[in-house]
Amino acid sequence: MQTAANDNLPRLMAPKEAALATSLSRPLLALMSDAGEFPKPVRLGERRIAYVRNEVDAWIDGRIAARAA
């Protein structure tokens, strides 16, 4: 997914936002991440994680591209 350099979106996205973007549940994203099938989250604190937006967008793009094959 190409985005403008000045799109003003934060570089990180909360698990809830990643779940909405992928239409997958937060627990499934965590399981897929542990299995190496989804980008690893960034630990922000003891009980807080976030996903790198560009990595999630690239994962979505990859899934879209794979359906054409």
pLDDT digits (tens, 9 = 90+) for 39-69: 999 999 999 999 999 999 999 999 999 997 6
Q: Give the integer Cα–Cα distance in Å for 52 and 54.
A: 6
Mean pLDDT taken over the chain: 92
Binned at pLDDT 50, 70 and 90, residue 2 comes out as low
In the chain, % of residues over pLDDT 90: 83
Q: Is the pLDDT of residue 25 over 60?
A: yes
69 contacts 61 by C-beta, under 8 angstroms: no
pLDDT of residue 53: 97
| Burial of 54 from C-beta contacts in 10 A (0-12 / 13-18 / 19+) | middle
